[in-house]
Amino acid sequence: MLAAARDLTGGVAPTRDDLRTVDLPPGSVPAGALRPGSELTSRLLSGPVRAGEPLTDARFLAPPAVPPGSLAYPFRVDDADITALLRVGDRINLYAADSTTAGAASQLARAVPVVALPTPRSATSGALIVVATTPEVATRLAQASANSRITVALTPDTG
């Protein structure tokens, strides 16, 4: 079966160099184990994977994670600790607070699903969150990201 050849970050598609083949005893092979030859270049890891960890279908975002008519939109929040509260599959509300307008905040989106929480690749501030949303919400997020601080709230229908 396939395993990670090195530590991998979430939210990325593994390359051939990221994978290796491992042999496990027949009774130890987990359900959904990915075999050599599995097409993974277009599938994103749902979270970080450790070197040597066997890969199963559960470690990847399912194609329905981003429904037809939606897109996966990454955005950065200033407070990286927020992502410690989140899991892939949670639904969040998104807000923009403009520091130039005293006390003004607006809701950008309601109950958008988190589809990936990539592990930081550098020492940049904040944290990246990837949500599945409509092109219209993605446009609002892009505008707000340029002019405001983005923050999130978990919704009551969080899984």
pLDDT along the chain (159 residues), means of 10: 90 86 89 85 80 89 72 87 86 85 80 84 78 92 87 75
pLDDT attached to residue 131: 92
Domain-wise residue ranges, the chain: 1-62, 71-154
pTM recorded for the entire structure: 0.62
Distance CA 79, CA 115 (A): 19
- As a whole number of Å, the CA-based R_g of the chain is 18
